[in-house]
Amino acid sequence: MKRIAIIALIVSDREAAEAINGLLHEYGEHIVGRMGVPCRERGINLISVAMDAEQDVISALAGKLGRLPGVSSKTVYAPEEH
């Protein structure tokens, strides 16, 4: 069953950008939208990725992103439909 979720990323290492973009491209068919916000004064970037996919697909992407150096991630799921 497909789920709606948002993966929130905090990126503290700019070197991770290429790997992040590669993973987002790889999972692009499941991504509804994404938004990036630079926080220059703190030296970090905030990225949100909205997805519509099977839970295992969402978890796989979130896990791969969270294992990148300088990246932390959390996933929030919309309530399941009854």
Q: What is the pLDDT of residues 52-66, one digit of tens each?
A: 999 999 999 999 999
pLDDT for residue 2 is more than 80: yes
How many residues appear in the chain? 82
State the pLDDT at residue 80. 84
Residue linked to tokens 């979130």: 62
- Write down the pTM of the prediction: 0.93
Out of 3.30.70.20, 3.30.70.1150, 3.40.50.620, 3.40.50.2000, which CATH number does the structure's domain 2-77 have?
Answer: 3.30.70.1150
Mean pLDDT for all residues in the chain = 96
Nearest to 47 by CA among 39, 55, 58: 39
Residue 68 DSSP code: S
